[in-house]
Structures are given as structure tokens and as C-alpha cells.
Structure 1
Amino acid sequence: MQPISIRSFLCALALAAGVLPAVQAAQPATMRLDYQHSGNALGEHYAVERVLVEPLPWPGSMARTIDDSNRGVNMVEVVDIKSGKVLYSRGFSTIFGEWSSTDEAKTTTRAFQESVRFPQPEQPVRVRILKRDERGLFSVVWSADVDPKAQDVIRSQPPAPVKPIPIRVNGDSADKVDLLILGDGYTAAEMAKFEATARKLADHLFTVSPFRERAKDFNVWAMAAPTSESGVSRPSTGVHHASPLGTRYDIFGSERYVLTTDNRALRDLAQYAPYEFIEILVNNDTYGGGGIFGQFSTAAANNDWANYLFVHEFGHHFAGLADEYYTSPVAYQSNGERQEPWEPNATALRDPARLKWRSHVKTGTPLPTPWPKQAYDSHAREYQKARAALRAQNRPESEMSALFKADLARTEQLFSAAPQRHAVGAFEGANYESTGFYRPEMQCIMFDRSQTFCSVCRDGISTIIDLYAGTPKH
């Protein structure tokens, strides 16, 4: 299947949606390197699986091929072998990287599938994977030479199993951020339900700033391969369903954590739509989701808090935003160190005069910034006990939703009287830690189930929109 035929097909879809993409110079093809990332808490290894040319042209801007956002645990660089010039780079994080911080990684070696995608070069290139060290600097940990003309490059793909649905098309993919909403756990009879949910959640995303103001910079597509059973696996309750993407709950032992570790299935389906970012909707009622920077995010589509889940998890995947909460149990195991996080919305505050979001802080704002932390923590302990009891007793999801609603109301009431309620400062408690890490504002979508991003998160998101929409740096 040649790229031009698929592109013509997508243009036809866009026309059907009432939008005609602007005529652009031909984009290069999309190359993908699939590899294995294995190891444990003490070390890691990489090995090539395959190199292939995807069916669609490169969906990104050729004006911003170098990533200067300084996000992610890892970075991919595509380097011309002859000249040494870096042709393409992007920051990202991995499931392996997260798993390596769990207790299991101390005693077990595992392998995870990963991929990097890049514009097809004309000459042989060296694909380098870099990793951030304890100083926050990137260094090369693995490389593989890729010759786009090599005989073992896979150049022909089977026909698309399903057609992508245009949700929002604002122009040619080269000038837009392309978001692909995938469904998992939807039967053939539930495809209309999937499309309606994808449209609803996409509409909600673009009511939240800064996505609202930048809505015209996005294209949104949706696609789902039908499954024989409705819903995805939730092993902790004995539910095991076969689904096309293998998405499931209970990742790393966390009942609400939803991911897929079947990267090949994910990429082999996603390649039939233009995309740079993926959010997977699971056809389940139980609260849950997840997000890995530069990989994908997930959300329980039928939950009462689906709007929040969709946006919060997308914040992780899209912009590398840190979780700002610290009272919920997580799979991550702290090493006790307080190194400066790379995420734009968390800090160890080693030097308040050099706070990474200092430009947002008004003169006279104390750093650290006082907030009713003791009262919040006291309530949070009781709330977490109630939450754990509901799950242990397998109570109806409506009771969990009611608990979430009451918790948010209590937080809003507590914060409403705080003097620094709307200030930007450094509020202790973030990045899963009660002490030693700080967040920019008292409340944010990345902190609780409220409805807005703080100003620092909004800036962090806008930086990535600019990068992928090809907006020139000022």
C-alpha cells in the first residue's frame, strides 16, 4: 500500500467532513524502528526488531524537526552518518523506565516493546536513544544504523483493518498537531458508541485552556478495531478480555492504572491514520487511565469522570506534565532523592531565586508558599481509606464517583479561604511526594479533579503545540 493512496483517502475523508486541507509540498514517508527495551532496576539493554515504512506520509512539520523543549527521560536523535548532522529529535519517556522504578524490577528482568518514528531520510542514518542522567543532561545509551534502502526494511503493509474517522480536520497534517483517539474493548455493535464518545471527549478537550485557544492547530481522528467482548481486562477482579490493543487495568499492581504493553499491536493499527499523539479510550465504567510522555494516554470512556481523565492523562502524554498529587498510592517507588524534575510543573526548589517558573511569580510571594497542607493531608488520609474500602468491597462505581465528588467539594471549600488561593508560587507536595517537591499553584488538573490547568502547565502545553504545529520560535 503506497503512501499517496492513503493520503488521497484521508483527503477524501476531510472533504466529507467539509474541510479541504491546504495543498502542501510532498512530505517524506514515515519510518519506524521497532525495538526491544529490556533489563531491570540495575541496567537496561536494547535490540532491533524491525524497520518499516508506514503506509502514510510523515504527519509532522518539517519546519521544527529538532526538539528543544527539554522534556522526557529519553530522547531519540536521527543523525546523518556522513555529516553527523542531527536531522530529527524528540523527547519521550517509556513504560520500561517507569517499570524499572517498581519493586518487581529489583528481582526480575523484563522486556518491553518500543518504537521511534521519524521522517524517512534519503541516506543512511544512525538512530540514537539518549537518556537523562542525574544532572538532567542527555547522553547516548544505544544506537542503531538504519539504511532506508536496505533490503530488510519492510515497505509494504496489509490493507487498513478499519478506516479512520475524521473528528476535527483543520488543515494538512504537516501544519497541525494530529491526535488519534483509539478505542479498545468495543464490539462491532458498539462502534457508534465509540465514535460518539470520541467526539464528546475531543469537544471537551478543546474547552480547556490552552487547547481551547489553539483548537485550530489540531486535527483529531478516531479509529477502533472491533473485539468480540465488550470492555478490556481488569485482572484484579478476574475479568480477562481479549482486545485488539491489549489495554488493561492493574498495570504494575495499581488497580486504576490503565496501559497497553503491546506496542506492536498499537503501532500496527495507529499507522493507518495520521498521528503524533494517541489517546486510547477503554470501553469500561471503572475509573482509570494512564499517560506516558510521547507514547500514549488512556482513559475509561464510560466513567463519570471521563472528561477529567481524558484531559489529565493527555497532559502527561502530550506535554510531559508531572502528577502534582501525592496522597494516592502509586506503583512508583521513591528512592528518597530530590533531584530537580525535568517536568515543567514540578520542582525540588533547591534555589528559589532560580525557580523554573519564576517569571510567573509576583514579587513578594513567599517561596515555599504557604497553603492549608495540614488540613488537606488530614482529610486526604480519611478519603484514601474510604476509597480503598470501596475497591476492596467491589462496591458500585457510582459510590466511588460520589466519593470523588465529595472530596473535590471539600478541597474547594478548604482552598477558597486560603490567602494564596490564586497565586503562583511553590506549594509543597507534588510528584507523588508529600515533602521535597513543589507545584506551581495550589490547584490544577494535574493535582486533583478540578477543571483547569495552572498557568505553568498551560505554558508547558503551549510549548509542545508550537513544536508539533511547526510554529517558529520567537
Structure 2
Amino acid sequence: MKKYLVLALCLLMVIIGHAQNYTEYFADKTLRIDYIFTGNAARQNVCLDELSVLPSWAGRRHHLAELPLQGNGQIIMKDLESGKTIYTTSFSSLFQEWLETDEAKAVTKGFENTFLLPYPLHPVEIEITLLSPRKEVRTHLTHTVRPDDILIHQKGTAHITPHKYLLKNGGTDKCIDVAILAEGYTPAEMNVFYQNAEIACESLFSHEPFKSMKDRFNIVAVASPSDDTGVSVPRLGEWKHTAFSSHFSTFYSDRYLTTRRVKSIHDALAGIPYEHIIILANTEEYGGGGIYNAYTLTTAHHPMFRPVVVHEFGHSFGGLADEYFYDDDVMT
């Protein structure tokens, strides 16, 4: 019941709007920000990697200055001139999960992270903060974005990945846009991918609150091609060349399937309206992973595919019991 209420609240924040006028501060475009989270258990840093602009905005247009959920990180955008908060969002990250592992006590690593914000009409100040599991500030970065900066990379106007809509109920301003991507499907296997994406779509809308709010969603299947069939399974010595370089055994947990190549995910989606991401892995191995406001990754050919894809989407969409590393099992 609690999970149902949390998911319903997320949906209502998108669907029901009031207060701040979107067009007062933002254009109908997306500001994509790529960061690198670096460090170890003792010290962390956030580095700005790249700024991009996408042709349209598929995120929420209401409750803009309200934090949707409490993740393990947050982003605050302020109008540079007035200092007014005009947009906030929260997230969790694979980097923050990794910080809780023994490896993080001995090694320094860097993780890609990408976030989508509405494109500002005027210069803004953006602060990104990483929090500990106890909600203490680990580190933060503040930087300025000027919308007329000529070095903001324009993406999504050409070379758009082939895709088709499985469910289309309205424009991006009225619906929640979910993209389902192919991982480990060769070009010759895309018909299989589209079939698997249909199953994922059917599974999602067989559960509440998605079932009752099906008419508030758009679902698009994106045929991101891989050179090899399947995904990497390190414990079996199998390494594949795939669209997003996903692999099992994340943090040495056999069933934990993730990718650190987050920029490649968003590059594959450039030019396609999206807010939430589901990645289907072309394998019979059991496993998956879901990270709040990042992505869901699950295997498409295991008998448990249907319930697992819904379970993992609950993590990425609604932040339900964000996954952290445990010695015995991360599939919470």
C-alpha cells in the first residue's frame, strides 16, 4: 500500500499543476547536463563534463520548485538575477551505492551521470549536492549556465535512433514519456526487441497505479543496436560489445545488472521525447537494477521478466527502496 501511494504521488505531481508558470522561466527545450562523480569513501567531488540542448522538454511543467522525492542527491536551479529557485529535482546514483562498498575504501573511481532540466530563458545558477545515506552533505558543485553559450552542444536534430510508439496518449505537456531501449540486440534482432518492449509495456500497465493512469503515459521503443547479442556476464568470462556496455556482477553481486556508460544512453535518446528510461537486456540471465531518476535495466528473456521489469521501474520512477549494496543480495 505504501509503495502504491508513493507512485501515485509521483504521478499526481506530473499530472496536476498549479502556481509557477513554466513559460515565465523556460523554453520548450531540455538542458542536458553531464557530470562526473569522482572519489572514494573518504572524499568525493562533482565535475561538470558537458552541457547540451535537446529540441523539446518532456519533464514536469508544474510544481517546478518543489522537490518531487527525497533521493540521495538533489539539483537546484536558481534565476541568476533574482536568486529565486525556479526548478528542483532529486536523484540517486550508482556512484553513491558504490561508496558503501569495501572497494571504495581503497580505490578512487569516476562515474558518469546525466540529468535533464528545463532549458532556461535567462542565466541560471545550478547547485548539485550529493548526500550520504543519513542525508548529510557529502559534496556539492555550483556553476552558472548561460542559455546563449555557443558551446552548449546541440543534440537531437539529426541521426535520431529508429523508434516507434507502443502507446501514445498526448503531447509531452500532458503525459509522462517513458523510453524503452534495446541493449544487446543486433540490427537483425530488432523485431524481437519490439516484441519484448510490448511485453514490458503490458506488464507495467497490469499493476496499479499505472493501470488506472495508463492514459497519462506515452511509451516509445527505441531500437538502439549492438554489435553483439546478449550482455556481459563477468562470472562466466563473457564480455560483449553492446550499445550501453551493461554487465552483471556490479559490485561483485552476480544478479546486479547495471551500466556506467550513462552518456551513451542519453545519446541514443537524443531527439526523442523522454523523461524515464527502461533498458531491456537481450539475455536469459536473471537480474536487473533500478536507480531513482536514472534508469531501469532488466533482462528480457528470463521467466521472471514481467514482474522484475515492474519491480525495477518502481526504483527508477518512484524511488521505492533505492537499491544499495548488500553482501548477500542487492535485488531488494
1:373 paired residue number = none
Distance in 2 between the 1:262 and 1:310 partners? 20
Distance in 2 between the 1:207 and 1:158 partners? 35
Task: Judging by fraction of residues, say which structure has more helix.
Answer: 1
Task: Kindly report the root-mean-square deviation, in angstroms, between the aligned alpha carbons of the 2 structures.
Answer: 2.3
Distance in 2 between the 1:134 and 1:225 partners? 34
2:145 paired residue number = 146
Distance in 2 between the 1:245 and 1:191 partners? 16
Give 3-state SS (helix, strand or coil) of 1:189's partner.
Answer: helix
Distance in 1 between the 2:259 and 2:181 partners? 12
| 1:331 lines up with 2:304 in the alignment | no
Q: Is the contact between residue 131 and residue 139 of structure 2 (CA under 8 Å) also seen in structure 1?
A: no
Deviation at 1:155, TM superposition (A): 2.3
1:48 paired residue number = 48
Flag the 1:136–1:99 CA change in 2: closer, same or farther, 3 A.
closer
2:165 paired residue number = 166
Distance in 2 between the 1:68 and 1:282 partners? 31
CA displacement, residues 405-447 of structure 1 (integer Å, 9 cap, x when unaligned): xxxxxxxxxxxxxxxxxxxxxxxxxx97xxxxxxxxxxxxx96
Q: How many pairs align? A: 308
TM-score, normalising length: structure 1: 0.61
| 1:308 lines up with 2:307 in the alignment | yes
Deviation at 1:133, TM superposition (A): 5.4
2:39 paired residue number = 39
Q: Which has the larger radius of gyration?
A: 1
Task: Judging by fraction of residues, say which structure has more strand.
Answer: 2
Deviation at 1:151, TM superposition (A): 2.2
Give 3-state SS (helix, strand or coil) of 1:28's partner.
Answer: strand
Distance in 1 between the 2:148 and 2:241 partners? 37
Deviation at 1:269, TM superposition (A): 0.7
Give 3-state SS (helix, strand or coil) of 2:53's partner.
Answer: strand
CA displacement, residues 273-310 of structure 1 (integer Å, 9 cap, x when unaligned): 21111010000001010010000011100000000110
Give 3-state SS (helix, strand or coil) of 1:173's partner.
Answer: coil
Q: Is the contact between residue 60 and residue 175 of structure 1 (CA under 8 Å) also seen in structure 2?
A: no
Partner amino acid for 2:147?
P
Q: Is the contact between residue 37 and residue 47 of structure 1 (CA under 8 Å) also seen in structure 2?
A: yes
Q: Is the contact between residue 27 and residue 121 of structure 2 (CA under 8 Å) also seen in structure 1?
A: no
CA displacement, residues 358-406 of structure 1 (integer Å, 9 cap, x when unaligned): xxxxxxxxxxxxxxxxxxxxxxxxxx9xxxxxxxxxxxxxxxxxxxxxx
Deviation at 1:139, TM superposition (A): 8.8
Deviation at 1:158, TM superposition (A): 6.4
1:79 paired residue number = 78
Distance in 2 between the 1:162 and 1:134 partners? 37
> Which has the higher relative contact order, 1 or 2, with Cα contacts under 8 A spaced 6 or more apart?
2
Q: Is the contact between residue 157 and residue 271 of structure 2 (CA under 8 Å) also seen in structure 1?
A: no
2:57 paired residue number = 58
Q: Which sections of structure 2, spanning at least 5 residues, go unmatched?
A: 1-22
Partner amino acid for 2:101?
T
Matches within 5 A, 1:214-225: 214-225=213-224
Deviation at 1:127, TM superposition (A): 1.2
2:264 paired residue number = 265
Distance in 1 between the 2:163 and 2:282 partners? 18
CA displacement, residues 24-58 of structure 1 (integer Å, 9 cap, x when unaligned): x995211111111100011111111111112x301
Q: Is the contact between residue 233 and residue 249 of structure 1 (CA under 8 Å) also seen in structure 2?
A: yes
2:242 paired residue number = 243
